[in-house]
Structure 1
Amino acid sequence: MRNVFPPPSHGPLWANEPKRLPNWVELIRNYPFGVVGLLVLVIIFVASGLAHWIAPYDPLETNYANTLAAPSLQHWLGTDTFGRDLLSRVLYGGRTALFIGVSASIIGSTIGAMLGITSAYIGGWFELILERFLEVLLAIPTMILALVLVATMGRNLVFGIDFNLVLAIALPIVPNMARIARSQTLTIRRQAYVDAARTLGFSSSRIIAWHIAPNIAGPYIVMVTTFVSQAILIEASLSYLGLGVTAPTASWGLMLAGNAFNSALTAPWIVIFPGVAIALVVFSFSMLGDALRDIFDPKASAGR
């Protein structure tokens, strides 16, 4: 019997289908700035985490015979007004900035998310009072609010880190995250599966934990990433004003304070390198946050 359907001359049909690019190639092509930001942050996190092993000098070691030395093979980034190696202080300063920035962002975002979810779900007088309180906090400039909190609470060192400083930086983040979580919860609580859970007699805490909180995980991750850059800038500003990290601890903001600007004209490297480190981290977190926002909410990104 003659074959009515001869085999195709160019092989099977699926052989001519275009090959799909690997996921990581698509990621780089769709979000190049986010990938660059992530790579820069990975390098900075690793370098800061391994500062104890890769820093050429003790960041607190002074050498008054070699102050304000220009970058050289002995001191790659030069020395400061006390003769301390700038490369070592930049590496150790990254530990301080990243720990405070990430901790403050997570604490502030978590508290804000909890308040926003609870107020939107419960509603009534609790939502009204909380909204007015958050509006008052939002009306106060972030830097002024952090300054007042630091000056009021004083210092509370925990494992060498001022925990009150972390809280002072975290509090301005709370109202912003609370408003985002509240708007998300108001949308989710009207969904059919939430009504079904309520009809089945599930408690409010169970509905929040199992049905609402997981659905705002995307915006939460995006905002945590975005708020880290804000927290690092606040820490650097407070340290510059003498209200943040105390000397002689290595901190990027503290490296810009004191005698640094007085000597900036004759030894510009003492302000350039910590300033570049701050700008690089803030830029990288911002780019990563924008990429995550596009990934979790493609409709919003398409409208921009």
Structure 2
Amino acid sequence: MSEGQAQLHSPFREALKRFWSDWPARIGTVGILLLLLPAVFAPLLANGRPLLVWGGDGISLPFWRTFFAPDSSEYLVEQVFNYLLLFLIAWGVLRPVRPRRLRRLLLAVTAALLVLPFCLTQPRLDKTDYRRQVEQSGAHAVFAPIPYGPFEIVAAPFEAPGRTHWLGADDIGRDVASRMIYGARASLAVGLFATAIALAIGTLVGMAAGYYRGWFDLLVMRLVEILLCFPTFLLLLILMSILKDRKFEQSILIVIAVIGLTGWIGLAFLVRGEVLKQRALPYIQSCEVVGIPVWRTMLVHLLPNIAGPILISFTFGVAGAILAESGLSFLGFGVQPPTASWGGLLRQAFDDPLAYWHLTLFPGLALFIAVLAFNFTGEGLRKALAPR
């Protein structure tokens, strides 16, 4: 069989074909893209500062400084998404470059250089009303489709959706559409990064327990079962209340750490079971007979063969982490104001959900789409990666 035929009939391509032939998996993938793309392109979709101003004093980019140094308490999460936006643009520009090795080299160098402006740019408080300034100066400006930032008070409290504010305003007059877009960053950051932490810990503990077996497995899994006895959401509330009293500014990072450090227990059981099945197969025994180091056996030979269930568990875990973050924010223990979050918007409608229906409908719909999309994707992966 030629190299091209081998690539055509590779297990990855076959799994991808099975995944894409499942219509719920396609719906889930589209739903994830509908959430991820607005979150990544948020500064270009909702911004109170002009993207471009020309005339009068020349040409300027008022939004550029805050792109690298966001004026937000959650600046690290904002910087990560802004960096991802620049990286995707660079990847699109460099994709036609051939050969592939040169393209990878240029992409790696570009990725390293893109970090510099985020490290070198210093934040600066800027309360300029650019919309009024542009009108008074007679200059020309290009604003984002939603010309309001997530922290600007631009409307009456609880204003209903209309032509000016598509999704209405929140309890103090901030544009809900802008806060929904930036709230997607908070929810996806918690979902992806917290689940990644849980995945790393659960995979490490499960692989170690399943591979070494014996007294080590007995001791580790009994400790894991003790942790399993604690109600997870109650533990989250206790930890978040303790950390909230210490007035941490980076509340999203705290939520990520707490959910990640408490969400790995189920994955550890799953990984341990998969490792125990693989441990009895001849290829692991062959690695031991040849004298391959244990760490190499586990990482190079064992981990790829249990990656399917881990990947499936990751997608389901993201949905659970998004729900946990929204629940914590709704109760006031999650992402702290003024940072936008879907759970925080739902909390504002708590007094009268019917009167403030736009604060109930739109965040609730976003949460529904997020959980449904990741669950559909996880189910599609389960079917595509099934052993049969």
Change in 2 beyond 3 A, CA 1:28/1:103: closer
Partner of 2:232: 142
- Match of residue 305, structure 2, among 208, 215, 218: 215
Output the CA distance in 2 between the equivalents of 1:188 and 1:156. 47
Shift in Å at residue 142 of structure 1? 2.2
The answer on whether the counterparts of 1:93 and 1:251 sit within 8 Å (CA) in structure 2 is: yes
The TM-score normalised by the length of structure 2 is 0.67
Change in 2 beyond 3 A, CA 1:247/1:134: same
- Report the more deviating stretch, 25-34 or 98-107: 25-34
The answer on whether the counterparts of 2:19 and 2:381 sit within 8 Å (CA) in structure 1 is: no
1:23-58 residue CA offsets vs partner (Å, 9 max, x unmatched)? 899658731011011011112100111111112111
The TM-score normalised by the length of structure 1 is 0.84
Output the CA distance in 1 between the equivalents of 2:242 and 2:355. 37
Partner of 1:74: 164
Write out aligned runs for 1:10-25 (5 A): none
Write out aligned runs for 1:116-127 (5 A): 116-127=206-217
1:42 paired to 2:132? no
1:113 paired to 2:203? yes
Output the CA distance in 2 between the equivalents of 1:127 and 1:228. 28
Matched residue count: 275
Identity of aligned residues (%): 33
Letter matched to residue 260 of structure 1? A
Write out aligned runs for 1:87-236 (5 A): 87-154=177-244, 160=250, 162-236=252-326
Shift in Å at residue 217 of structure 1? 1.1
Partner of 2:44: 53
Letter matched to residue 288 of structure 1? T
Output the CA distance in 1 between the equivalents of 2:344 and 2:287. 52
The answer on whether the counterparts of 1:157 and 1:163 sit within 8 Å (CA) in structure 2 is: no
1:288 paired to 2:351? no
Partner of 1:14: none
Output the CA distance in 2 between the equivalents of 1:184 and 1:173. 19
Letter matched to residue 322 of structure 2? I
Shift in Å at residue 139 of structure 1? 2.3
Output the CA distance in 1 between the equivalents of 2:318 and 2:166. 28
Secondary structure of the residue that 1:66 maps to in structure 2?
A: coil
1:274 paired to 2:363? yes
The answer on whether the counterparts of 2:19 and 2:380 sit within 8 Å (CA) in structure 1 is: no
Q: Which runs of 5+ in 2 are unaligned?
A: 1-12, 47-145
Secondary structure of the residue that 2:356 maps to in structure 1?
A: coil
Question: What is the root-mean-square deviation of aligned Cα atoms in Å?
Answer: 2.2
Q: Which runs of 5+ in 1 are unaligned?
A: 1-21, 300-304
Secondary structure of the residue that 2:336 maps to in structure 1?
A: coil
1:165-206 residue CA offsets vs partner (Å, 9 max, x unmatched)? 212111332111101110010011111111111011122111
Letter matched to residue 245 of structure 1? V
The answer on whether the counterparts of 1:59 and 1:250 sit within 8 Å (CA) in structure 2 is: yes
